[in-house]
Amino acid sequence: MKKAAAQPITDAQLEQALSAAGLDIPLGDAMRSPALARCLEITAEALLVERDHDGSNPQPSRGPRRLVGPHESLPPRVDVKRAAAGDRDE
């Protein structure tokens, strides 16, 4: 199956992508960075695809996601050497 010709991304779609990314910078400043500009274009295209499948305007269901460090996502490790020796913190 052939992919349809890509439509040009409008400034409004880029603004929506900027908002969905949770960035608090003006669009003009964001578009000065080639990497960030490309990321916003990809996000805008993804939002278009999502809207086409849903038939509605996509709105973030939550605020921006907070990155969680590895120490926050796992329970503390058990010190197996201390446990094997019978050393317990009481």
Contact 78, 85 (CB under 8 A): no
Exposed e or buried b for every residue in 39-49, given b needs 16+ CB within 10 A?
Answer: bbbebbeebbe
80 is a domain residue: no
Calculate the alpha carbon distances from 15 to 65, 83, 87 in Å.
18, 55, 58
Verdict on whether the full-model pTM lies above 0.95: no
77 is a domain residue: no
Alpha-carbon span 90 to 88, nearest angstrom: 6
65 is a domain residue: no
> What are the pLDDT digits (tens) for 19-66?
988 888 999 999 999 999 999 999 999 888 877 665 555 555 555 555
**Whole domain around residue 44: which residue ranges?**
9-59
pLDDT given at position 5: 47
What's the domain count of the chain?
1
pLDDT given at position 2: 44
Contact 35, 18 (CB under 8 A): no
71 is a domain residue: no
32 is a domain residue: yes
pLDDT given at position 57: 53
43 is a domain residue: yes
